[in-house]
Chains A and B, each alone.
Chain A
Amino acid sequence: AQSVTQLDSHVSVSEGTPVLLRCNYSSSYSPSLFWYVQHPNKGLQLLLKYTSAATLVKGINGFEAEFKKSETSFHLTKPSAHMSDAAEYFCVALNNAGNMLTFGGGTRLMVKP
């Protein structure tokens, strides 16, 4: 069984400052990990994914995440927040069979002007 924990339900930053959204996973193997963003009343958009290649993964819109096996973490970062980054972010793990996603609880990112 695998689980995903997003450590913060809400994160608030000022525009232009760095963003850090934390995610820890629990799994008996190295899962594939994803970050998705969801704007209000919209579906999920893939930001980036880790699939056992490079541990530092670059995604769209300036986001990146680093897979740290020793810490079982996959934190999402961005050097400078933009107002349009305000949304809900989900950290997601894919099981070994490739047929089930496990979602974290989500982190709501608020960006202050």
Chain B
Amino acid sequence: GAVVSQHPSRVICKSGTSVKIECRSLDFQATTMFWYRQFPKQSLMLMATSNEGSKATYEQGVEKDKFLINHASLTLSTLTVTSAHPEDSSFYICSASGLAGGQSYEQYFGPGTRLTVT
């Protein structure tokens, strides 16, 4: 149990276009979802936290107008990178937190999405 999926796993887009990444909790209701960014050979950096039905809370330095987060249901959150530029190329990982299988609220991580902006 407690599976989180991300789609797509890899995406290549041209500079100036927008790309949407989906994060789904497959077998539990995720009251909170988190979006992380990971640069090569570095640790994960939290970008934003979103609660279902509420606006996301962004970490300092993260542009909310560039990284649009929607958490419209208890099983789906989306991250849209608008007007992408090569410096947005990165590995994006989501995690979901909720009462999974009767266990306490632990974060379960998705497999990540590799974004390359050309």
Please report which residues of chain A, range 25-61, place their CB below 8 angstroms from some CB of chain B when the two chains form the complex: 36, 41-45, 49, 51
* 8 Å CB contact of A42 from B97, B106, B112: B112
Q: Which secondary structure characterizes the binding site on chain B?
A: strand
Residues of chain A within 8 A (CB-CB) of B95 are 101
Among B39-47, B63-71, B72-80, the one that faces the other chain is: B39-47
Size of the chain A interface, CB-CB below 8 angstroms: 19
* 8 Å CB contact of A99 from B97, B104, B111: B97
Q: Mark A79-103, 1 if CB is under 8 A from B, else 0.
A: 0000000000010001000111101
Q: Are A99 and B32 in contact (CB under 8 A)?
A: yes
Asked if B49 is at the interface of the complex by the 8 Å CB criterion, the answer is yes
Q: Are B110 and A103 in contact (CB under 8 A)?
A: no
Asked if B107 is at the interface of the complex by the 8 Å CB criterion, the answer is yes
Q: Are A103 and B111 in contact (CB under 8 A)?
A: no
Q: Are A101 and B112 in contact (CB under 8 A)?
A: no
Interface size class of B (residues with CB under 8 A): 20 to 34
Q: How far is the CB of B27 from chain A (nearest CB, A)?
A: 16
Q: Are B44 and A103 in contact (CB under 8 A)?
A: yes
Please report the C-alpha to C-alpha distance between residue A41 and residue B41 in the assembled complex, in whole angstroms. 11
Please report the C-alpha to C-alpha distance between residue A34 and residue B15 in the assembled complex, in whole angstroms. 37
Chain B residue nearest to A106 in the complex (CB): B43
Please report which residues of chain B, range 1-51, place their CB below 8 angstroms from some CB of chain A when the two chains form the complex: 6, 32, 34, 41-44, 46, 49
Name A residues whose Cβ lies closer than 8 Å to a Cβ of B: 36, 41-45, 49, 51, 90, 94, 98-101, 103-106, 108
